[in-house]
Amino acid sequence: MKGLFYQPVRVEAKNHQILFWGCLHYGHNPKWDVPIWRRRGFNSSEEHDEGIIRNWNSRATDKTVGFLLGDIMFGYGGEEKFNKLMSRLNFSRVFVMSGNHVAGWHQAFQSVDSNTLYVDGNYSKEVIFVPNYLEAYVNGQPIVMCHYAIASWNGQSKGAWMLHSHSHGSLYGTDLGKVLYTAKVMDVGVERFLSPPSFGEIKSLFKEDTVSFDHHTAETQNPF
């Protein structure tokens, strides 16, 4: 699907059936004094991984369209481990970025001829591999999604959202974050949302009047 590199993805579904999440860190068990699973309130890496699956499935069904904004899994196992995780998550279609930790994503992506994986050969359950930057119309709403936070993005002056992960909530409360999050920017990673937020929930959290760092105006012609 070469169009992913120059055309926005278009998704139409009920607001609660569209979910966003990032930085799952499934299988991440670093030898840190305070590993990431403990910071998230779990007692072990195994408990964390089961919690990630449970929290996704508590919001998702076989009609869910999902966007996973990178850093999905860690460790050995590659393609097999990635496929097993996808088989346990509920969705009909999910767009998956690699993030900066590509374990599993990379091996699974290399195993398919295009950018689509049908989980367990099921054509009604699609994993679509996408770059770390993606433009989309979701129920008519323009959204720029990236693994990394962006301060000035396409369509910002026209009301486009910017959704990211990567920073694990660390931007909130900083001088940069106090400015950045006055725009329609949101960290949808696990540290900010222990369960994946829906399109409708995110929409309700954004204020109508927000800051724009875009030099374009609302009249400027661009994809959004």
- For residue range 95-116, list pLDDT tens digits in order: 999 999 998 889 999 999 889 9
198, part of any domain: yes
Domain count, the chain: 1
Q: How confident is the model at residue 90 (pLDDT cuts 50, 70, 90)?
A: very high
pLDDT at 182 (0 to 100) = 84
Helix (H) or strand (E) holding 83: helix 78-88
114, part of any domain: yes
pLDDT > 70: what percent of the chain? 93
- Model confidence pLDDT, tens digit, residues 44-68: 999 999 999 999 999 999 999 999 9
Q: Are strands 141-146 and 133-138 parallel, antiparallel or unpaired?
A: antiparallel
The residues, any chain, with a CB within 8 Å of residue 83's CB and separated by 6 or more, are 108, 117, 119, 120
Compare 58 and 75 and report the one with higher pLDDT: 58
83, part of any domain: yes
CATH code of the domain containing 91: 3.60.21.10
Indicate whether 138 pLDDT > 90.
yes
Q: How many CB atoms lie within 10 A of CB 151?
A: 13
pLDDT > 90: what percent of the chain? 67
Average pLDDT of the segment spanning 66-85? 90
96, part of any domain: yes
Residue 124, domain extent: 10-205
31, part of any domain: yes
The residues, any chain, with a CB within 8 Å of residue 47's CB and separated by 6 or more, are 37
pLDDT at 179 (0 to 100) = 82
Tell me the pTM: 0.92
212, part of any domain: no
18, part of any domain: yes
- Model confidence pLDDT, tens digit, residues 13-48: 999 999 999 999 999 887 777 889 999 999 999 999
